[in-house]
Amino acid sequence: MIDTKSTGHGTWSSRFAYILAATGSAVGLGNIWKFPYITGENGGGAFVLVYLACVLLIGIPIMMAETMLGRRSQRNPIEAMELLTKESNADSNWHYLGWMGVIAGLLILSYYSVIAGWSTAYVLKAFTGSFIDADASAIKTIFDNFISSPIQLLFWHSLFMLATLAIVVRGVNNGLEKAVQYLMPALFVLMFLLVGYAMTTGSYFQGLHFLFSPDFSKLTANSVLTAMGHAFFTLSLGMGAIMVYGSYLSKDISISKTVFIIAGADTLVALLAGIAIFPIVFANNLHPNSGPGLIFETLPIAFGAMTGGWLMGILFFVMLTVAALTSSISLIEPTVAWLVENKGFTREKACLWSGGVTWILGIGTIFSFNVWSDFKIFERNIFQLLDYLTANLMLPIGGFCIAIFAGWIMLAQHSEAELNMPSTESYKIWKILISYVAPASVFFVFLHVVGVL
């Protein structure tokens, strides 16, 4: 057994606190901002189906594995991988996995914070009544003017980074638990209200049809990769966020049950967002493939038109911002935990460094929406490049390695004891998924994308 006394590592106050925090990490911009726009860009139904299959067959087993590795080691991801490799007598190169996770987390946060800043800015726009009675083209103009201003984007990005650091400095299992407790239920209620509005647009069924009737001719190798990458992104997998949260989890809690609850809630929020947004898209003759601005160009139309829309608009963007915050803290926590526990940094200094690096990197994303919008590498601007590199490559590669480690390197008696599943059969199913199905799927999708298959 691994000694945990000397690490100074915290624990969640209860199972519920852990579920809230991990759900807080999973549910964020990925569900409400990213899922709808990438679904729109990749043709709808068939993409959604691939995404759901990936969540079930790859995401859930890997989420269990990642939580398990964290809890067994009770350490930050870099140290966790070092310890677990020793415990399994494996090659010490495995600790590079922890490194890749730390880097992926900071890269993701650099653009995540910029988009979360948009959401914060939209709280103010909703408050000042900018959306009232505005039609689709007026709403689009508001968005276009906003993202063309680097100064405004920088301001909101900075504000969001500061808010993230203000929470992380206190330690994720102090302030965080309370924030999520109220946010999650409220977010669900609001999503249902928006779906209610979508039903009145006259294009509700067209929206549902787009989301749920698969047309496989629209799927390309790259859209399958995007769907798979998004399963990792939306569940916060492959970079150590769930590992670090698992490391604060006490030993008597069932990993499998909590993982199903978290993944279920996450998927539900994404589908609700899609069901709310696409009817508005079609009712206003907008295009599903309008990219990262999609929710900012559609939902304000609803807020401008519906009764009580002023308040709903404010609440929605406040909640989206908070949902983004509970994810952003998990993006930076692996780095901070490592700097504190291994490099002797104080929590303040660790936040300052990791936050500073991320803040500067974020400027690249800001510029890709305005002054550098024509600067492209492999036909992608900086934002698209970072998104592709992290969500489509680094997270699936990280997840693949976690699957191999949990399925092939770690001793079965250790994983079985740690997971403590309700029955031996359920453990066996997990073992097959993690050893064969999950890694092979990731591998085949990659082969397909590079054109070997």
Of residues 300-329, those binding ligand PHE (CB under 6 A): 327
- Residue 214 CA to residue 180 CA, distance in Å, equals 35
30 binds ligand PHE (CB under 6 A): yes
CA 367, 370, 374, 378 dihedral sign is positive
119 binds ligand PHE (CB under 6 A): no
To ligand PHE, the closest distance from the beta carbon of 221 in angstroms equals 23
Please identify, using beta-carbon distances, which residue of 55 and 419 lies nearer to ligand PHE: 55
399 binds ligand PHE (CB under 6 A): no
To ligand PHE, the closest distance from the beta carbon of 111 in angstroms equals 11
Contacts for 169-172: CB closer than 8 Å, 24+ residues apart:
169/347, 169/348, 169/351, 171/10, 171/347, 172/21, 172/245, 172/248, 172/329, 172/330, 172/333
- Residue 34 CA to residue 28 CA, distance in Å, equals 9
Give me 342's structure tokens.
């291994």
CB neighbour list of residue 143: distance below 8 Å, 6 or more residues apart:
293, 296, 297
First-to-last C-alpha distance (Å) of the chain: 44
Nearest partner of 64 among 445, 434, 444, 441, judged by Cα:
434
To ligand PHE, the closest distance from the beta carbon of 229 in angstroms equals 11
Tokens 């591998």 -> residue: 443
Q: Which residues pair with 380 in a beta bridge?
A: 377
Please identify, using beta-carbon distances, which residue of 309 and 355 lies nearer to ligand PHE: 355
Find the binder of ligand PHE among 234, 247, 284, 381 (CB under 6 A). Answer: 234
To ligand PHE, the closest distance from the beta carbon of 32 in angstroms equals 8
Judged by CB under 6 A, the stretch of 71-79, 200-208, 228-236, 425-433 that binds ligand PHE is: 228-236
Contact letters for ligand PHE, residues 331-370 (x by CB under 6 A): x---------------------------------------
CA neighbours within 13 Å on the CB side: how many for 218? 19
Please identify, using beta-carbon distances, which residue of 119 and 236 lies nearer to ligand PHE: 236
Q: Site size for ligand PHE, by CB under 6 A?
A: 15
Please identify, using beta-carbon distances, which residue of 233 and 248 lies nearer to ligand PHE: 233
The Cβ of residue 302 has, within 10 Å, a number of other Cβ atoms equal to 26
To ligand PHE, the closest distance from the beta carbon of 366 in angstroms equals 19
- Residue 234 CA to residue 230 CA, distance in Å, equals 6
23 binds ligand PHE (CB under 6 A): no
Alpha helix stretches (DSSP H) within 200-308: 204-212, 221-234, 241-246, 255-283, 294-305
Nearest partner of 236 among 120, 343, 142, 324, judged by Cα:
324
Please identify, using beta-carbon distances, which residue of 25 and 284 lies nearer to ligand PHE: 25
Judged by CB under 6 A, the stretch of 146-154, 190-198, 235-243, 429-437 that binds ligand PHE is: 235-243
Find the binder of ligand PHE among 233, 317, 338, 405 (CB under 6 A). Answer: 233
Find the binder of ligand PHE among 22, 26, 102, 294 (CB under 6 A). Answer: 26
| Residues in contact with ligand PHE by the rule CB under 6 A | 25-26, 28-31, 108, 233-234, 236, 239, 241, 327, 330-331
